[in-house]
Amino acid sequence: MFEEIGTTTEGDLIINVGPQHPATHGVLHLVITLNGETIKKVEPHLGYIHRSIEKMCESLTYRQFIYVTSRMDYLSAHINNQACALVVEKGMQIEVPERAKVIRVLMAELTRIASHELWWGAMAMDIGAFTPFFHAFRERETINDIMEETCGARLTMNYMVPGGVMQELHSDFQKKVKEFIKLFKLKIHEYEELLTGNIIFQNRMKAVGILSKADAISFGCTGPVARGSGVSCDIRKIYPYDAYDKVQFDEVIETAGDSLARYMVRLKELHQSISIIEQLIDNIPEGDFQAKTKAVLKLPKGEFYQRVETARGEFGVYIVSEGGTTPHRIKFRSPGFSNLSALDHMARGSKLGDLVAMMGTLDLVIPDIDR
Amino acid sequence: MTEQKQNTKPFPGQIEEIPGGGIVLSKLDDIINWARSNSLWPLTFATSCCGIEMMATASAKYDFSRFGFEVARASPRQADVIIIAGTIVNKMGPVLKRLYDQMADPKYVIAMGACAISGGPFFYNTYSVVKGADHIIPVDVYVAGCPPRPEALLHALISLQQKIKAGLTREQIKTTNE
Amino acid sequence: MMNEALKTRITELLATATFDETGEWLNISIDSTQWLTFAQQLRNDDNLLFDYLFCLTCIDNKTNLTMVYHLTSTKYRHNIVIRSSLNTDNPEIESVASIWKTANFHEREVYELFGVNFLNHPDLRLLILPDGWEGKYPLRKNFEDPVNMIKL
């Protein structure tokens, strides 16, 4: 498990980064072969948080397995739950009321903003700028308070259920979200002044970790990693679900393929999320928040696949059902697994200090990769 | 533990005012425990979701640096307390043991969240989860929650400080509570 | 392209493929020995252009193992599902890591969890499981582990 630290006969040095390391955002173990300070090969060793979720879900019912997906990619917990609820609704042909669809989209976009905030703060801290971390968490706390009033929890909220959402919105929800949006628009301006225009930051990110468009498609990258290289792959636009076909927003694409492009994609996505929330917050339709479903859910025999766009990329749930109350096989297609396989290709030939900037822009959450 | 005589005075010992200053009369053990408990440095060890709540406790709204946990060291040789935030799996067990062994005495352990206490939501039907971090290293304080709120983690840190100020070793606590 | 046009084009490339249209996308069942050439044709053909493999997994039915590949095209936006049945005693199939680079990690994962041997894979070894778990294949239905697994 642990490579010997030493030199090989050609003069190469093999070092370990992690599994316990402040910059790896979880437990990722990288074995890096160096020649001086130039990287020759990066090999990820995974499995330090492999909790055997797919085996465990084979003995959970269709209402129970949703809580486990909140803990896989915990920064976009609502969106993962949305994928599971959608796949069960697709299999059982349940019709979701309009109010529930709009509430789901609002919660998903708030989660996307919170996830990008934490990414921004943590990435800046890895590069060496400590101040953005505190600014980012300040806004994230506001979103967490809004979520806590309605859903009951700050991080792993199990709010989406097959049929709609679990309970009604809190009466202060609309007021607080509108206040948050007004405040947040000023704060985005502050973020751009603080970090984006900084000459040191730009020198660390420009032309670092270049991923070409053909490579991004071949490695299976999705989300901001692929959109930073010019691939158009936003699931909300191509295969819309819930209320995404009723809102207007742009898909953000940059063509440079380096770390700065991936950074700019995420910052611009923050603007798009704000615009989606503004379009919907005053027009939540009246009605039920949950469709009537049977107490015990049974999916018919067959296979079902549902994909959603999380903050990291395309998350897919693939269920093979034999007709019972528990699934025969569940596979979670996680975005981080494919994004990580591009790291070796991006890092060859660059310096060790640039590796941290690349890992930061890939936005990896390791429990999502190991499942 | 709560029946122990707590140190409610800000500084352990008797202070006598004399012209020109004061004299402090105390036991050396009490002063050392007071100094240790107010300056515990945590190790940055976060495996999964509880790590985000630990980061939130470190940030501006629920600041834990006002209790002395200001400097979070990355190296286990320089840390005093390890907050196990997240699930421990079979592959990570030896890594945790090696980190704990590298820390210098006196060292303390806080098990944060349901996964570190007993395996949590991953208790049944998993082949790779260690059902509780106390199978590997001895734990001082357990914090319940999935994930626990930042205030719960602060309460755990304050309880750890009171435990240190009371001054008992681990063997003495076991025999007094039986 | 719609399902009918896909079916005619695929039958031109591989005559022994069978189709199943009960699901959301077109399911194509092929024989495991013809997978590599068929995959190259799917990738390079001008009308199909399946350049994006987004899910690679394996299902353990009691009698056999079934490999499932989900493919889509970034240009035409059509999706298909390829299935291939393997023998439980000696499951082997060609690796497609040379065509779609994402298959490298996915195939390593299927190898360690189900025991499928991928021929000509550049680097086939354990990815997620710890050392010493070769040969155990935890996701198969007949996996028993009384030490670690506590049943409800």
For residue range B111-167, what is the model confidence (pLDDT) as tens digits? Answer: 999 989 998 888 888 888 999 888 999 998 999 988 899 999 999 998 888 888 887
> Bridge-partner residues for A39, per DSSP?
A34
Structure tokens at B28: 């050396």
- CA distances for C56 relative to A213, A226, C26, C36, C81, angstroms: 22, 19, 16, 15, 10
pLDDT at B162: 86
Q: How far apart are CA A190 and CA A196, in angstroms?
A: 10
| Max Cα–Cα distance, chain B, nearest Å | 71
How many angstroms separate the CA of residue A255 from the nearest CA in chain B? Answer: 32
Residue with tokens 């809004």: A146
Contact C139, A54 (CB under 8 A): yes
| pLDDT over threshold 80, residue B175 | no
pLDDT at A81: 92
| Max Cα–Cα distance, chain C, nearest Å | 54
Query: What is B104-169 written as a DSSP string?
Result: PSS-EEEEESHHHHH-GGG-SS-SSB-S-GGGTS--SEEE-SSSPPHHHHHHHHHHHHHHHHHT--
**What is the rounded average pLDDT of the residues B62-80?**
86
B81-85 and B42-43 beta bridge pairing: parallel
Angle A98-127/A173-191 helices, nearest 10 degrees?
30
In tens digits, chain C (152 residues) has pLDDT values of 677 888 888 888 887 888 888 878 888 888 888 888 888 888 888 878 888 888 888 998 888 888 999 988 888 888 889 888 888 888 888 888 888 888 888 999 898 888 888 888 888 888 888 888 887 888 888 888 888 787 77
What does DSSP assign to residue B67?
G
Is there a contact between B121 and A71 if contact means CB atoms under 8 Å apart?
A: yes
How many angstroms separate the CA of residue A97 from the nearest CA in chain B? Answer: 31
- Quote the Cα angle for A74-A113-A184, to 5°: 145
Contacts of residue A68, defined as CB under 8 A and 6 or more positions apart, other chains included, come to A53, A56, A57, A60, B121
Is there a contact between C70 and A305 if contact means CB atoms under 8 Å apart?
A: yes
Distance of CA B131 to the CA centre of its chain: 20
Neighbours of chain C (3+ CB pairs under 8 A): A, B
pLDDT at A176: 92
* A314 chain-C contacts, CB cut-off 8 A: 54
Searching chain B, which residue's CA lies closest to the CA of residue A64?
B121
Searching chain B, which residue's CA lies closest to the CA of residue C146?
B127
| pLDDT over threshold 60, residue B5 | no
Whether A67 has its CB under 8 Å from any CB of chain B: the answer is yes
Q: How far apart are CA A82 and CA A89, in angstroms?
A: 10
| pLDDT over threshold 70, residue B176 | no
pTM: 0.90
Q: How far apart are CA B126 and CA B118, in angstroms?
A: 13
φ, ψ for residue A53, nearest 5 deg: -70, -35
In tens digits, chain A (371 residues) has pLDDT values of 334 444 455 778 888 887 878 766 778 888 998 888 888 888 888 889 998 898 889 889 988 888 888 888 889 899 999 999 999 999 888 889 999 999 999 999 999 999 998 999 888 888 888 888 888 888 889 999 999 999 888 888 889 889 888 888 888 889 999 999 999 988 888 888 888 888 888 888 888 888 888 888 888 899 899 999 988 888 888 888 888 888 888 888 888 888 899 999 999 999 999 999 999 888 888 888 888 888 888 888 888 999 999 999 999 999 999 888 889 999 999 999 988 888 888 888 888 888 888 888 888 888 888 88
Residues in chain C: 152
Q: How far apart are CA C120 and CA C124, in angstroms?
A: 9
Is there a contact between A137 and B87 if contact means CB atoms under 8 Å apart?
A: no
Contacts of residue B155, defined as CB under 8 A and 6 or more positions apart, other chains included, come to B143
Distance of CA B136 to the CA centre of its chain: 16
Which DSSP helix (H) or strand (E) runs through C109? helix C103-114
Amino acid A128 reads: G
CB pairs < 8 Å spanning A and B: 98
What are the residues of chain B with a beta carbon less than 8 Å away from any beta carbon of chain A? 43-49, 51-53, 55-56, 59-61, 74, 76, 86-87, 89, 91-92, 94-95, 99, 121-122, 124-129, 146-147, 149
pLDDT at B4: 44
Searching chain B, which residue's CA lies closest to the CA of residue C130?
B91
Whether A155 has its CB under 8 Å from any CB of chain B: the answer is yes
